[in-house]
A and B are shown apart, each in its own frame.
With several copies, the nearest count.
Chain A
Amino acid sequence: MRSIGLSLLLGAAVPQSASADTRKFPTPLPEEVLPNVAVLPGIWPKSWVLIHDLNFASILDGKLALVDTRSADRPLKGLVRAAQFANELVAPDRGEIYTAETFYGRLTRGKRTDAITIWDMKTLQPKGEIILPDGKRQLSVTYPNVFQFTNGGKWALVANFTPAQSVTVVDLHARKVLGEIDLPGCTQIYPSGERGFSSLCADGSVFSVTLDDKGQAASSSSVAKVQDIDRQPLFGTPAMVGRTAWFVSYYGMVQGIDLSGPVAKPLPGAFSVDKGDGAKADGGTPQWRPGGWQVIASDAKGLLYVLMSPNGKEGSHKDGGTEVWVVDPVKKARLSRIALKGQGLAIAVTREDAPQLIVARADGVVDVHDAATGAFVRTLGATVAANPIVITVP
């Protein structure tokens, strides 16, 4: 332990030692080792999630907050850059996070660069990047299904919007762009089959593409009338149960689409989240409807969680919800209702042995409920993100 002549160094008044306290603690606290940067476990605990901070006040400086949902005192484990309407993917098997981002040479102007940045899950340091050509990446409020894996996670698909619509195919292993698939009139990317994807189209159809081993379109196929966009529009972000995407409509109808094969197959028997009891999801009083940004989630057992608001009306679908309704899509029945502590915007369920329902609220607070009982467990406060909008369970 070194002592330093302080007044020469700092020119500040040096406090007097309190000798009584010094006797109580005869040895000073030890010097601490510098530099010192925290490292994360190689495999993240299952209570950890990534929360996307859109950061409205500076959209160009979006972030991913890595959050331990079981830690009320130290929930924030670190930040990953997610610049300018970014999107993210996580590959725990490779220990990598991928962000699709947009940059300008002079912050707001100058040369535009779109790129996928590869981050190490243990250090949160960048490992490399893949430049995306032509500055056409789709920029919008965070939709998970504009940046998706395919080909067993070896490739990524990036949605483009100029406003012409297309999908860029990227080989994450070789770190290069393979090609681009035009997709006029269709939007969002739902990986389908072994190597391909499906998209929802403006005429209500679903369109499926298979890719060859060079990333070019090998075949395509369309199934008509999957949704009625005027009367029963589906939120664009589904909850996945295996290879089935469960979508919910603005009015609470649940529609499954089987994505296991090369052609997306809508499942028969759409049903309402109010099925099985008297509370109406649409047309009743109060007018319960899904509301928020990420309004549907699944758990490991295949149950669905839908964020619901009693203030349903035209245009209410992004206003957030005050309850989560738990639905069994096999029985087509609602199992329970979970009252939230605030106005939720995004929900997700962890894959822990005792799964937790994570709720990102409009006021920036993140709350945690027991997914099985619905009981409120803890709040993380507004301590991880300015504008939490999407929750990713790795």
Chain B
Amino acid sequence: MAGFDKFAERMARGVARGTSRRSLLAWLGAGMTGTALLPALPVARASTHPDAARPEMTSGTPQDPGNPASCDYWRYCAIDGFLCSCCGGTVNSCPPGTEMSPITWIGTCTNPADGRAYIISYNDCCGVSSCGQCLCNRNEGDRPQVRPQSNNDYNWCLGTESSIYNCSVAAIVGTALDQPK
């Protein structure tokens, strides 16, 4: 249907096209980013074991403050899912046995140490069932599914061998400008 093609063209033009060499940002540039994650901080409370308290972890870097096993950690401002730091991975690596999704939903979070706004890629780790540890949901900048690149309710285990969701990382992929270029 020609109408649909025209519509897609209009959509593509209406969204900034990125210049990243990375497929995930190229795809974001095309206005199609989504996320793989799960909802709702309150639900996290219901699902997390009462005896799941654990000692604090740190990045070891003063410029990256906070506890990557805690939902309060600065990079998690728009995450939705199990924190890979509690699952055998780290803040930016998937646990062994999983596959990292090549495309992802992107949030922007302010680092309290250096005051900069960073672009955070929330990649999902896929192919192993729910990690079950450290469920975390924060929705700063989250928008409805109508804007996939701003919605963290999609399962972003796409482009992976299996769509089964295990946990999510929060990796730095850039800093944000205050104003569009």
Contact = CB atoms under 8 A, between A and B. Distances in A.
Direct contact of A and B (CB under 8 A): yes
Nearest to B115: A18
Chain B binding site: helix, strand, loop or mixed by DSSP? loop
Interface string A33-52: 11111111000000000000
Contacts of A381: 51-54
Nearest to B169: A36
Nearest to B77: A315
Contact of B86 (A1, A124, A383): A383
A207 interface: yes
Chain A binding site: helix, strand, loop or mixed by DSSP? loop
A227 B77 CA distance: 25
A24 B56 CA distance: 25
Contact of B145 (A17, A76, A188): A188
Most chain A CB within a 10 A radius of its CB, from B31, B39, B49, B154:
B39
A220 B3 contact: yes
B114 A4 contact: no
Contacts of A108: 127-129, 162, 164
Nearest to A316: B139
A108 B98 CA distance: 11
A51 B146 CA distance: 25
Nearest to B126: A108
B27 to A, nearest CB: 8
Interface in A4-54: 4-22, 24-25, 28-40, 54
Most chain B CB within a 10 A radius of its CB, from A72, A84, A124, A202:
A202
Contacts of A34: 22, 24, 92, 100, 121, 123, 171, 173
Interface in A370-391: 380-384, 386-387, 389
Contact of B114 (A29, A182, A188): A29
Contacts, number: 401
Contact of A124 (B39, B92, B97, B154): B97
A99 interface: no
A34 to B, nearest CB: 6
Given A188-B146, A203-B11, A10 B106 contact: yes
B88 A38 contact: yes
B150 A364 contact: no
Interface string A225-246: 0010110011110000000000
B164 A37 contact: no
Given A10-B150, A108-B162, A123-B96, A315 B20 contact: no
Most chain B CB within a 10 A radius of its CB, from A22, A73, A345:
A73
A34 B25 CA distance: 11
B65 to A, nearest CB: 11
A141 B38 contact: yes
Contact of A112 (B51, B77, B163, B178): B163
A47 B111 CA distance: 36
Interface in B46-80: 46-47, 49-57, 61, 63-64, 69, 77-78, 80
A132 to B, nearest CB: 14
B7 A5 contact: no
A291 to B, nearest CB: 9
A60 interface: yes
A3 B25 CA distance: 12
9 contacts: A12-B150, A34-B92, A34-B171, A35-B99, A78-B88, A125-B96, A185-B8, A185-B11, A234-B146
Interface of A: 1-22, 24-25, 28-40, 54, 56-61, 63, 66, 72-81, 84-85, 102, 104, 107-109, 112, 119, 122-125, 135, 138-141, 143, 161-164, 181-188, 200-203, 207, 217, 220, 222, 227, 229-230, 233-236, 292-293, 314-320, 343, 345, 362-365, 380-384, 386-387, 389
Given A319-B41, A364-B49, 19 more contacts: A4-B16, A17-B115, A17-B178, A21-B115, A22-B115, A34-B22, A36-B94, A76-B87, A80-B128, A108-B128, A109-B127, A109-B162, A135-B163, A188-B145, A202-B11, A222-B3, A293-B39, A384-B133, A386-B47
